[in-house]
Amino acid sequence: MSESDLDGYMRERLANYKIPKHWSVETLLPRLPNSKIDKQALRKRLEGFNAVQ
């Protein structure tokens, strides 16, 4: 699924205020040793993304 496909899908099904202004497609999410998503590492990655824009 491409980013434009995802954007179109959301616009067809969600109200405009529910569609994120900024989003990122991640192929691999950081994981903890217990296989849960490492939310702290993900937040740090996204902070860097927001700083670039």
Q: What is the amino acid identity at position 27?
A: T
Helix (H) or strand (E) holding 11: helix 3-13
For residue 50, count CB atoms less than 10 angstroms from its CB and return exposed for 0-12, middle for 13-18, buried for 19 or more: exposed
- pLDDT at residue 51, rounded to an integer: 54
Task: Measure the CA–CA gap between 26 and 14, rounded to whole angstroms.
Answer: 21
Contact (Cβ atoms closer than 8 angstroms) between residue 45 and residue 30 = yes
pLDDT along the chain (53 residues), means of 10: 87 93 84 97 80 52
Instruction: Say what the pTM is.
Output: 0.54
- pLDDT at residue 49, rounded to an integer: 66
